[in-house]
Amino acid sequence: MGKHEIKKVDLSFDVYQSESDLEANDQLLLNKAKEIAKSAHAPYSNFKVGAALLLENGTIVTGNNQENAAYPSGTCAERTAVFYASAQYPTSKIKAIAVITDNVNQLEPVTPCGSCRQALAEYEIKFREPIRVIMGSASGKVYIAKSVESLLPLMFNQDHLK
């Protein structure tokens, strides 16, 4: 109980009750994510997730979760997509990512795991451009965060390496 102060961090995001309330571009991105979720390799969890990234040049890059019999060797949809995007289009800013599962029981939006937030933040910092995060669900409810950083307060970043 020494002398100290308490800092508070706000986490805010937009909540939509229906995909039809989204801008057309965001709807399209969610649909691409939904489509690619179907071809995920998720025999262990049976939870198929799809991610679609919109690049500044208009390209949409998609990815899905790739599981492995050695569980930790698998990876999430978001990282499959963002690593592919960065490998193929290393100079193209990332404007947005949509993520959703094809699981009909998932009524609340799928929110990226901590490792994916950290992985995505790398490119937000690289390009000095916020990546909007669009999180969809089977009920049609959608969350939209303005940036990855807003979802990952106190993230580890390259300044810590200096």
For residue 40, with 0-12 CB atoms within 10 Å meaning exposed, 13-18 middle and 19 or more buried, which class applies? buried
Note whether 92 binds ligand THU by CB under 6 A.
Answer: no
What are 53's two structure tokens? 């990234």
For residue 94, with 0-12 CB atoms within 10 Å meaning exposed, 13-18 middle and 19 or more buried, which class applies? buried
Note whether 33 binds ligand THU by CB under 6 A.
Answer: no
Binding mask 93-132 for ligand THU (x = CB under 6 A): ------x----------x-xx--x----------------
Query: Which is the catalytic residue, given 19, 35, 67, 78?
Result: 78
Q: Please confirm, yes or no, whether 124 is among the known catalytic residues.
A: no
Distance, in Å, from the CA atom of 14 to the CA atom of 12, rounded to the nearest integer, reads: 7
Distance, in Å, from the CA atom of 60 to the CA atom of 76, rounded to the nearest integer, reads: 18
Which residue lies nearer to ligand THU by CB, 26 or 78?
78
Smallest gap, in angstroms, from Cβ of residue 64 to ligand THU?
Answer: 7
Question: Residue 58 region, left (φ>0) first, then alpha (ψ -120 to 50), else beta?
Answer: left
Where does this chain touch ligand THU (CB under 6 A) — which range of 9-17, 18-26, 45-53, 143-151? 45-53
Distance, in Å, from the CA atom of 35 to the CA atom of 99, rounded to the nearest integer, reads: 11
Which residue lies nearer to ligand THU by CB, 116 or 152?
116
Total number of residues that touch ligand THU (CB under 6 A): 15
Binder among 16, 25, 74, 122 for ligand THU (CB under 6 A) = 74
Residue 145 backbone dihedrals phi, psi, to 5 degrees: -105, 145
Query: Which residue numbers are catalytic?
Result: 78
**Binding interface with ligand THU (CB under 6 A):** 42, 45, 47, 49, 65, 67, 74, 76-78, 99, 110, 112-113, 116
